[in-house]
Amino acid sequence: MDNYLGKIEKYLKSMSASERIDIVNEIKSLMLELQNNGLTSEQIIERLGNPKELAKAYLGEAITKNSKFSWRKFGAVFAFCSSFAGASGMFVLPIISTLSIALMISGVITPIGGIIKFVGYLMGYDIAGITIEIGAFTPSPMQFLPTSIVIGVLMFLLGKVLWRLTIKYIHAISQKKKTLMVS
């Protein structure tokens, strides 16, 4: 049973130490309870199933608890991809999670560029390095700030939507924790 718990802990290495310890202790407690009810170690391990799948369920649940972004959760998403997501998740999850972060950061930077360009215009400077071109449309200096704000908000919102999509995708591919009924 210690070998089983060791595997669980290994698969949960992307989680914080306290979360990982709590999960291992929960599973260990369940194992002891089942053992006290007369099940053998082999029966308990059979009942719990593959340690990778059980760890996947716990990690998926931890990631999908809330959809707010954090860098720790971003790291856990990549750990989930490499360990559990399979071939499609190896491509889909890294792309949509990285794109979501890039869009949210760009959504913040774009209005800052608009402010710099607008202030430069008011002071009589043309800052050529900051431009917006949408097809044939290039905003005038007076249109630049509102255009950059609108584009920034749209990029940020799209990034948030992609982040939520990432979380929902993880939730969909991670099995829910098995309900273990003590007999």
The model carries a pTM of 0.61
Instruction: Kindly state the greatest CA–CA separation across the chain.
Output: 84
Record the tokens describing residue 82, joined without a space: 């490499």
In the chain, the amino acid numbered 85 is: A
- Evaluate the CA torsion angle 66, 67, 70, 73 in order and state its sign: positive
- Mean pLDDT rounded to a whole number for the chain: 80
For the stretch 106-133, pLDDT in tens is 999 999 999 999 999 999 998 888 898 9
